[in-house]
Structure 1
Amino acid sequence: MATYKSKKAYMYGTGRRKSSVARVHLFPGGTGAITINGRDIDDYFGLETLKLIV
Structure 2
Amino acid sequence: MLSRRFKGYKHEPYKYYKTFSSRDEACENSFNDVSIEDWELCCQKFASAKFKV
Q: Structure 1-normalised TM-score?
A: 0.23
Task: Report the structure, 1 or 2, having the larger helix content.
Answer: 2
Greater percentage in strand: 1
